Amino acid sequence: MQESQFEIQTISGNLSSEMSEERNFGGIGVKCVILIPDYKGCFSKEKNLLPSPRLFDIPLIEHTIFSAKKAGIDDFVMILMKEDKSFQNQMDKLSHKANITITTIYFNGTENKLNLSFQNAQNNELNSILLIKANYYINFQIFEKLIENHHKNNSVLLAIDRGIDDFNLDYLENTNKVLMDDQNRIKKVGPNLPKYNALVPEILFFPSEFLIKYGRDIVIENNFSLNKTIEIIQNSNLFQTVDIGRNKWVKVEENSSKKRAEKLILKNLVKPTDGFISRYFIRKMSTNFLTPFILKINRKVTPNQVSFLSFIVALISSGLFFFGNAILGAIFIQLANTIDHSDGEIARLKHKQSPFGDFLDAVFDRTADIFVYLGILCYLMFEMANKVIIGIYWSSSSIIIPCVLALAGNVMVSYVSTKAMTNLDYSFNGRFFGTGRGRDTRLFFIFIGGLLTFLHPIFLYFSMLIIATLTSSIVIHRTFVVWTHFKHDRGFFEK
């Protein structure tokens, strides 16, 4: 029987050399192969290349690549049916931007001798391959889970999602489904199954041993057919399914699925270091409302521009406190804090995190805090100083001291963390005393105290007193932690 073979062109050699060459930058030995579908979402040489959908003005394929990179993959192969110079230019720029390797391969559909030789791979080291399609948005946690399971059992892994109830009927109509038996063996797979118990986002993980033995059948004979591939891997006794969990992937085809993918992207912008106030209050406002609103107004907005906007809003808050409108001042400081969350979210969303951005954000934050605290001091001096309130005479010093301690503590918390990292290469951990935490809580106290001034200004005073106590405690605690950690190091106490 005559084999159906394809000529393969690459930018830097054939697929055999690219797949066997060791490019294990991340140390996990995994190459991510992305199939670029045509306009109908099919992998076919007769159709035109599908323009990558844009999520928040960023190509879908770029989101996918950065998700894989976050999981430790930095070697990618793009497979197209025909040459596309604009796509190649896009990949070249992305490769430089993300500091990754991207190889582009074209299947020309000729009957010439195939440059890919899996037999030769037996004599070389062949990376394991994570195979996906470009019309899917995939969360980085899926990549991490597949890589983790690969390290445990070295089997062929098929990603499935049992969370069927989380998808609406319109979305399910064009999604591949799978019917599995009690032993997790796949009985049927396809988009039009009347009965099914899981969804298939078309993500396959092939260990190198499997590719050496079966790769030729999958690539040459069956052209990456999902059904045929599943048939082959089930007969290989090296097959396992991995439930990737719910709401971590989206097949992007129409506007409804694009909106679903964008919602998922926003949901994944939460930082693991977020404290209670940030995670359950501020992030809810920023990811659900403010960040989408900012991007809707200006899709080209940069994180640094949003940081500057947060700084300006904080200065307005300071002026409102200074001129005696504490309620509006509280609202504006909370708005500034929420915008400050949005700048980081936009940086992560657009993959534009940078050391300078972090530096600029920190400078804006510390400067804004100083002005806000001084504005509050002026407000409390006007409203409470030299007056009898709840039977107590409030002298000027009784107002100034807590406010100054709150201001100094707010600055010292950051200063102690910075000095510990720069001088000692030490980072504080913990839910309450960890590095990078606490500002959200302090501003939230100001927000609550400012709102309660409609009852009495003393509530804002209590907020400042709480902040002074908290920040002083954190500084003392961190100093003690550093001392106990390094006290047995003689060089630590010597100049």
CATH value at residue 109? 3.90.550.10
Q: Are residues 309 and 346 in the same domain?
A: yes
Q: Are residues 244 and 332 in the same domain?
A: no
CB 329, CB 321: distance < 8 Å: yes
Tell which of 197, 225, 253 closes a domain. Answer: 253
Neighbours of 122 (CB within 10 A): 11
Q: In the structure encoding, which two tokens stand for residue 318, read together?
A: 């300071």
**What average pLDDT does the chain have?**
78
Mean pLDDT, range 116-124, rounded to an integer: 40
The rounded distance, in Å, linking the Cα atoms of 15 and 104 is 9
User: Is residue 408 domain-resident?
Assistant: yes
Mean pLDDT, range 340-362, rounded to an integer: 90
User: Is residue 60 domain-resident?
Assistant: yes
Q: Are residues 195 and 286 in the same domain?
A: no
Q: How many domains does the chain have?
A: 2
Look at residues 314, 307, 309 and name the one whose alpha carbon lies nearest to residue 347. Answer: 307
* Positive or negative torsion for Cα 460, 466, 472, 475: negative
pLDDT for 321 beyond 90: yes
The rounded distance, in Å, linking the Cα atoms of 113 and 429 is 58
Q: In the structure encoding, which two tokens stand for residue 471, read together?
A: 């920040």
Q: In the structure encoding, which two tokens stand for residue 333, read together?
A: 């400081």
| Per-residue confidence (pLDDT) for residue 117, from 0 to 100 | 37
Per-residue confidence band for 469, with pLDDT thresholds at 50, 70 and 90: very high
CATH value at residue 417? 1.20.120.1760
More confident residue, 70 or 53: 70
The rounded distance, in Å, linking the Cα atoms of 484 and 286 is 39
More confident residue, 269 or 434: 269
The rounded distance, in Å, linking the Cα atoms of 363 and 375 is 19
User: Is residue 263 domain-resident?
Assistant: no
Look at residues 12, 28, 139, 172 and name the one whose alpha carbon lies nearest to residue 78. Answer: 12
Q: Are residues 49 and 186 in the same domain?
A: yes
Tell which of 253, 283, 317 closes a domain. Answer: 253
Among 242-251, 333-342, 484-493, the minimum mean pLDDT is found in: 484-493
Q: Are residues 189 and 243 in the same domain?
A: yes
pLDDT for 15 beyond 60: no
Write the pLDDT tens digit of every residue in 371-414.
999 999 999 999 999 988 888 898 999 999 999 999 999 999 88
Q: Are residues 228 and 131 in the same domain?
A: yes
| Per-residue confidence (pLDDT) for residue 435, from 0 to 100 | 52
CB 403, CB 464: distance < 8 Å: yes
What residue numbers bound the domain in which 299 lies? 269-493
Strands 249-251 and 136-138: antiparallel
CB 447, CB 336: distance < 8 Å: no
